Amino acid sequence: MSCTSLLSLPNLPTPPPPKKPSTAKWAKPKPITCHVSTKMSSNQPPDPTSLLSSAAKLLWGASLPPGLLISTVRTAWNSTWRIMMSQLAPSDPTLAYTRPPSKFRATPNQIPRQAQTSLHLYVGLPCPWAHRTLIVRALKGLNDAVPVSIAAPGQDGSWQFSSTPIPDPNTLGPGPDNANGFKTLKEVYKSREGGYDGRSTVPMLWDVKKRGVVCNESYDIIQLFNSGLNELARNPGLDLSPPPLKQKIETWNSIIYPNVNNGVYRCGFAQSQQAYDTAVNELFDALDMVEDHLGSSRFLCGDDLTLADVCLFTTLIRFDLVYNVLFKCTKKKLIEYPNLHAYMREIYQIPEVAETCNFTSIMEGYYKTLFPLNPGGIQPVMPSGSDHEVLCRPHNRDSLSLRDKSAAALYIS
């Protein structure tokens, strides 16, 4: 029994004094010392990490554990990792990540007029798919017409709401569920008529009056915000998908979505070397192609910002912050692409776009939540190329505007 435990016991009866020995000679007993720890118990459970460290030192001292133990732990961890990854990132037979399709789809023509005034947007700030809806909502001036509730990843990775209101209403940050008052996004989905037990994803557009999910496909939502709510928008004249550019936008989306937007996830969530090699090569082939294109074009489709640019931007702004490190997209940093980085800075500097970028939430949402990819939860320092001051440096991309060059040519002639 340890001395610390003994000190916590009640007073025991004093034993009778021993009888005096007879004529036999006895050696003088050595004094018995008992070292009592000055750190008394705080009634807190022991730290398992500390216990494991103490056990390791006792067994092996300063040397490494034996090879058999390392092999056993590695096998167990690989098996556990594959189980967790199969839940986090569904894959095909080659163990390549396969993104599940969105359950609730909608087009602008499918939204009844009466429902347009009762829409509520659910987002999470780390998510690039949700970020695109925030950008189009801001550019179109729909912040008042479509209120938003912002969730944050919980310890189990699910989207959860904070009980504390955001101190500054003009700042985008995690807060309460302003439409239904629930604690988790899963509860919102389940509250729809008929219930729902599928994946509770963001972004999600909710009908407050009918209490139902309108749409949880990001591209459907930004198309709706762009052209379906102009009667409610403060900037109805802005068209991010004008008819003459629709074909170009679709062409760029067919390149960017599989290879860049989803490409970074295919790298990070790959469960085999073959799947990763395929994804990373296709990602950087696409980035190289876009880099070359942007050397002579201000935006993807010419002089005007389109939905294709918005979709590309939300991946680029996270690239050096997260994907380069956590998702192993390590061939190049975005800052090593002069045209892509300047293009990203120009979009960032468009009024109201920077306000939708919360870099703290982005980094915490990935590094602190994706346990299978970062078991220690250690968050690296923000790269200097992602500092606000760097992103606000002159981009000089207005010199690529064909419209300005044509006007200058007409003036000279």
The per-residue pLDDT for range 267-276, each reduced to its tens digit, is 999 999 999 9
Beta bridge partners of residue 184, listed in sequence order = 160
Q: What is the per-residue pLDDT for 151?
A: 97
Instruction: Say which DSSP state 94 is in.
Output: T
Looking at residue 397, the DSSP 8-state letter turns out to be: G
Q: Which residues contact 142 (CB under 8 A, 6 or more apart)?
A: 225, 229, 232, 233, 234
Q: pLDDT: is 217 or 25 the higher one?
A: 217
Task: Convert the pLDDT of each residue in 49-104 to its tens digit.
Answer: 666 666 666 665 666 567 777 788 777 767 676 666 766 777 888 888 888 899 99
Helix %, strand %, coil % of the chain (to 5): 45, 5, 50
What was the pLDDT predicted at 73?
76
Identify whether the C-beta of residue 122 lies closer than 8 Å to the C-beta of residue 203.
Answer: yes
Q: What is the pLDDT of residue 61?
A: 63
Q: What is the pTM of this model?
A: 0.81
Q: Across-strand partners of 52?
A: none
Return the H-helix or E-strand segment holding 153: strand 148-153
Q: Counting Cβ atoms within 10 Å, is residue 396 exposed (0-12), middle (13-18) or buried (19+)?
A: exposed
Q: Is 127 a catalytic residue?
A: yes
The residue assigned the tokens 């139902």 is: 212
Q: Is residue 196 annotated as a catalytic residue, yes or no?
A: no
Residue of 3, 34, 219, 265 marked catalytic? 265
Find the catalytic residue in 97, 122, 127, 357.
127
**For 141-199, what is each residue's pLDDT tens digit?**
999 999 999 999 998 889 999 988 777 777 899 999 999 999 999 999 999 999 999 99
Q: What is the pLDDT of residue 45?
A: 60
User: What is residue 146's DSSP assignment?
Assistant: S
Enumerate long-range contacts of 273-281, CB under 8 Å, 24 or more apart. Answer: 274/94, 274/95, 275/91, 275/94, 275/95, 275/96, 275/97, 276/328, 278/96, 279/96, 279/97, 280/328, 280/329, 280/331
